[in-house]
Amino acid sequence: MPNQPVHHQLDIGLNTVPPVMKRGEHVLLFLIDEHGQFVLARKDIYPEGIYRMLGGGIDQGETPLQAAQRELAEETGIQLPTERFKMLLTTSANLNSPEGQFTFTTHVFAARVATADLKPGSDIQGVVHLDTDQYRQLVERYRQLPQETDPNSGFSWADYGKLYGLLHDSAWQAYLSSQPAAELTE
* CATH number, domain containing residue 156: 3.90.79.10
The verdict on residue 185 lying in a domain is: no
pLDDT the model gives residue 1: 40
The verdict on residue 41 lying in a domain is: yes
* Helix, coil or strand: residue 136: helix
Cβ–Cβ < 8 Å for 75, 120: yes
What phi-psi label fits residue 41: left (phi over 0), alpha (psi between -120 and 50 degrees) or beta?
Answer: beta
Tell me: cis bond preceding 180? Omega within 30 of 0 counts.
Answer: yes
Instruction: Say how many domains are in the chain.
Output: 1
The verdict on residue 85 lying in a domain is: yes
pLDDT along the chain (186 residues), means of 10: 72 90 94 96 94 96 97 95 95 93 96 91 92 97 94 91 96 84 46
Range of the domain at 146: 6-178
The verdict on residue 13 lying in a domain is: yes
pLDDT the model gives residue 179: 67
C-alpha distances in Å from residue 182, one per residue of 23, 62, 178: 34, 28, 10
CA distance 87 to 119: 24
